[in-house]
Amino acid sequence: MKTNWQTLTEPTLLLDTRIAKRNLQRMAEKAKRAGVVLNPHFKTHQSAEIGEWFRAAGISRISVSSLLMAEYFAGHGWNDITVLFPVNVRDLSRIKRLSASVSLTLNVISLGSARFLVEEVMQPVNLIVEVEAGYGRTGISVNDGDKIEKLLHYLQQQNRHRFYGFYIHAGHTYDVAGPEEVAEIHLQTLAALGQLKGRWMADFTELKIDMGDTPGCSIMEGFSGIHAIHPGNFIFYDLTQGAVGACEISDIAVCMACPVVAKEESRNEIVVHGGAVHFSKDWLTTAGDSGTQMIFGRPVQLSADRWGAPIPGGFVRKLSQEHGIIRLGREAFEEIQVGDLIGVLPVHSCLTADCMGKYLTEEGELLNMMPWRNRA
Amino acid sequence: MKTNWQTLTEPTLLLDTRIAKRNLQRMAEKAKRAGVVLNPHFKTHQSAEIGEWFRAAGISRISVSSLLMAEYFAGHGWNDITVLFPVNVRDLSRIKRLSASVSLTLNVISLGSARFLVEEVMQPVNLIVEVEAGYGRTGISVNDGDKIEKLLHYLQQQNRHRFYGFYIHAGHTYDVAGPEEVAEIHLQTLAALGQLKGRWMADFTELKIDMGDTPGCSIMEGFSGIHAIHPGNFIFYDLTQGAVGACEISDIAVCMACPVVAKEESRNEIVVHGGAVHFSKDWLTTAGDSGTQMIFGRPVQLSADRWGAPIPGGFVRKLSQEHGIIRLGREAFEEIQVGDLIGVLPVHSCLTADCMGKYLTEEGELLNMMPWRNRA
């Protein structure tokens, strides 16, 4: 059944497939130009149907953020999967099942996890060692030479699993003011990875160096020494990516349709059905009229099959469980009525998509996502 | 199939039903003592099975935050339902279906919405007018006498629907430093409602005054002039409620079990599988060692069927999509190993429950929630 966007009655995540496919094509072409493999992260869209667009673009290796997600995509015909999340040793049975059915690459960042995989998982897997250069999420610090030495010496001595190489997610590119800082981090990251490669390539002649992060992959052209890139968010982009200069606002491919349920004259604010259960609750800090302002989305006008540019001066000021409070300029406020539908561009499309679990395209078709909340 | 908490392999929302039932009993007894009706908000637990505990405690009227949720609970035998969210006029067909099958109370905050319901919905419903006294989310300001006059005069002139009375959600009790401020807001709220009642009770002799908000309902004993209270969060509580003094930390009834996947020696931090897709991304601001600190949860130790007090000095410093980064004191850090399971108390239990979609009890039973993401 096809649904026209204008007939929607409740919060619905819209996907403009024209924009998303353009984003995909652009990244695929960039990877080709740069001579790197595009090994896209599927944690953003989490959808077998969207995965097929990647397959059509020639992609054969993919990345995911959990074993469960690996299982979902393995069930949809993907057979070379990298899990870019530190291996969860409690989930041994899932690792065994997956390693028996696909070419599996697991992320190890400690000697203990490496030992565990050598001792407990008989089917060969690839091991990718995550390093970090200042982001402070996960990975062995590139400066912790000792820890890297011990882990790699252990990997040399065993012959059950194959050491793939190093991976770095320069996630601090999300916390910067603009593209110059992203570029600086990107160059530092390349330099750190280059040193690592220099140190180890005599011992591991097939050693590869991979990197993630959509800002770096979007802004930069050069990927010297890199084998594969693993961006994920670029398929949809969002306001956060716009803020760091990784995309134009017109590159954002998802938007929440929200029914307007109230108007507050004294504050030029509208209340919409569309809250933290729909968007999640990530925020962006921007310079506002009265100092810095946390915002949770940007309103746009919706038509039957597309949305416009952000309404000037408009922003989502607050999200509670089901309510969104949107501040507007006076003119836009006066034009909108209770019962209208308004679009909201998300701050963080990965979390918003995960909250909603499906997409409604401009053709009125529903695309499903991995139903991870429903498993027994 | 019963599951022991210690055998879990992936992020799982645990529910200690002993604590939740004690929270329910305490609120039911308080309402009885105060002579007010407990009309609990089911948006927090969203579970038909947990709803049955309320029925066993003598509850017959419930509140929800969307028409969809009303439909879910109507399907589970509840026939007096208040939708405490401004009526969504786009969803007329659902309003018609619901009003034909249950005693439905709808939230109107504008003349336009009231007219719409009078003209379009033939089956009588109750209309509750939401007012606000400084929170700035939704509702007509108690100071906007003119707007209230116009709406109530209109309601007097029609005889299709019944005017129930006023409702106030003093949501600013969530943003305060402690119980004294909650008490102050509560008293201001009562005073504002008292004035409204005084103005209108000659015209509407059955006029009722209701209020929501868990902090006010938890901390206060007196509810002078109030007919019903609509707290929701109290069934589980959370760190936010603990911070405003609405509960003890030992009253928190939900906790996320998270596998430990990495340790970062240099920062006394562990990495867990448990991120923004599991917790949502609400935060709490606390005074830390170096100024104010945003926290996203508090770690606790887990056993097979219960959890302990928060680990001293521990907090969730960062959440990304699937990762949680937990800072610990040195001693606790040294004790915990990769492969262990750790518990995390949520900042905002309503959003965390909504993310997870089900609960695992101390008896190892799964309780389901309304599957709102899965509908076609």
- Give the model confidence (pLDDT) of A26-41 as tens digits: 999 999 999 999 999 9
Residue A227 main-chain phi, psi, to 5 deg: -85, -50
Mean pLDDT of B229-249: 96
Dump pLDDT digits (tens) for A289-330: 778 899 999 999 999 999 999 999 999 999 999 999 999 999
What is the residue type of A62?
Answer: I
What is the residue type of A325?
Answer: I
Read off the pLDDT band of A137 (50, 70, 90). low
In sequence order, the β-bridge partners of residue B208 are B165
Token pair for B68: 């969809």
Residue A145 has pLDDT above 90, yes or no: no
Which residues of chain B have a CB within 8 Å of the CB of A116?
339
Parallel, antiparallel or unpaired: strands B12-15 and B254-264: antiparallel
The predicted pLDDT at position A372 comes to 85
B259–A86 C-beta distance less than 8 A: no
Give the distance from CA B284 to its chain's centroid. Answer: 16
Residue A162 has pLDDT above 60, yes or no: yes
On whether any CB of chain B is under 8 Å from the CB of A109, the answer is: yes
Parallel, antiparallel or unpaired: strands A291-295 and B103-108: unpaired
Token pair for B262: 């990495």
CB B311, CB B264: distance < 8 Å:
no
Identify the three-state secondary structure at position B127: strand
- How far does B92 lie from chain A, in Å, by closest CA? 9
Which residues of chain B have a CB within 8 Å of the CB of A93?
9
Parallel, antiparallel or unpaired: strands B12-15 and B358-361: parallel
Residue with tokens 């119980």: B179
CATH architecture of the domain with residue range A18-236: Alpha-Beta Barrel (3.20)
Three-state secondary structure readout of chain A = CCCCHHHCCCCEEEECHHHHHHHHHHHHHHHHHHCCEECCECCCCCCHHHHHHHHHCCCCCEEECCHHHHHHHHCCCCCEEEEEEECCHHHHHHHHHHHHHCEEEEEECCHHHHHHHHHHCCCCCEEEEEEECCCCCCCEECCCHHHHHHHHHHHHHCCCCEEEEEEECCHHHHHCCCHHHHHHHHHHHHHHHHHHHHHHCCCCCCCEEEECCHHHHHHCCCCCCCCEECCCHHHCCCHHHHHHCCCCHHHCCEEEEEEEEEEEHHHCEEEEECCHHHHCCCCEEEEECCEEEEECCEEEEECCCCEEEECCCCEEEEECCCEEEEECCHHHHHHCCCCCEEEEECCCHHHHHHHHCEEEECCCCEEECCCHHHCC
Residue B74 has pLDDT above 90, yes or no: yes
On whether any CB of chain A is under 8 Å from the CB of B320, the answer is: yes
The DSSP secondary-structure symbol of B270 reads: E
Residue with tokens 């609405």: B246
Read off the pLDDT band of A187 (50, 70, 90). confident
Other Cβ atoms closer than 10 A to A71: 19
ipTM topping 0.85 = yes
The predicted pLDDT at position A368 comes to 94
Task: Give the residue, B29 or B143, on which the prediction is more confident.
Answer: B29
Identify the three-state secondary structure at position B281: coil
CB B152, CB B203: distance < 8 Å:
yes
On whether any CB of chain B is under 8 Å from the CB of A88, the answer is: yes
Percent of chain B with pLDDT strictly greater than 90: 80
Residue with tokens 């935060």: B283
Whole-Å CA distances, B168 to B88, B109, B209: 19, 11, 8
Residue A240 has pLDDT above 80, yes or no: yes
Residue B258 has pLDDT above 60, yes or no: yes
Whole-Å CA distances, B106 to B83, B131, B330: 5, 14, 53
What is the maximal distance between C-alpha atoms in chain A?
71
Residue A158 has pLDDT above 50, yes or no: yes
On whether any CB of chain B is under 8 Å from the CB of A293, the answer is: no
Identify the three-state secondary structure at position B142: coil
CB A67, CB A94: distance < 8 Å:
yes
Residue B118 has pLDDT above 70, yes or no: yes
The predicted pLDDT at position B221 comes to 87
- How far does A33 lie from chain B, in Å, by closest CA? 30
Residues of chain A with CATH 3.20.20.10: 18-236
The predicted pLDDT at position A170 comes to 78
Percent of chain A with pLDDT strictly greater than 90: 80
Dump pLDDT digits (tens) for B266-306: 899 999 999 999 999 999 999 877 788 999 999 999 999 99
Mean pLDDT of B192-217: 90
The predicted pLDDT at position B176 comes to 75
On whether any CB of chain A is under 8 Å from the CB of B262, the answer is: yes
B94–A9 C-beta distance less than 8 A: yes
Q: What residues have CB less than 8 Å from A118, skipping those under 6 apart?
A: A158, A160, A161
Query: Which residue, B261, B278, B260, B325, is CA-closest to A130?
Result: B261
Give the distance from CA A41 to its chain's centroid. Answer: 7
Residue A126 has pLDDT above 70, yes or no: yes
Residue B376 has pLDDT above 50, yes or no: no
What is the C-alpha to C-alpha distance for residues A115 and A97, in angstroms, rounded to an integer?
19
Residues of chain B with CATH 2.40.37.20: 5-11+253-368
Helix axes B17-34, B48-56, angle to 10 degrees: 40
The predicted pLDDT at position A376 comes to 41
On whether any CB of chain B is under 8 Å from the CB of A86, the answer is: yes
CB A256, CB A346: distance < 8 Å:
yes
What is the residue type of A5?
Answer: W
The DSSP secondary-structure symbol of B1 reads: -
Query: Which residues of B, range 330-359, sit inside 8 Å of A by Cβ?
Result: 337-339, 341, 350-351, 354-358
B136–A267 C-beta distance less than 8 A: yes
B339–A261 C-beta distance less than 8 A: no
- How far does A110 lie from chain B, in Å, by closest CA? 7
Record: fold of A5-11+253-368:
Lyase, Ornithine Decarboxylase; Chain A, domain 1 (2.40.37)
Residue A248 main-chain phi, psi, to 5 deg: -85, 155
Percent of chain A with pLDDT strictly greater than 70: 97
Residue A313 main-chain phi, psi, to 5 deg: 80, -5
Parallel, antiparallel or unpaired: strands A254-264 and A228-229: unpaired
pTM here?
A: 0.96
Quick one: CA dihedral A24, A27, A32, A35, positive or negative? negative
CB A292, CB A315: distance < 8 Å:
no
The predicted pLDDT at position A303 comes to 94
The rounded mean pLDDT for chain B is 93
Read off the pLDDT band of B182 (50, 70, 90). confident
Mean pLDDT of B30-54: 97
Residue B105 has pLDDT above 80, yes or no: yes
On whether any CB of chain A is under 8 Å from the CB of B259, the answer is: yes
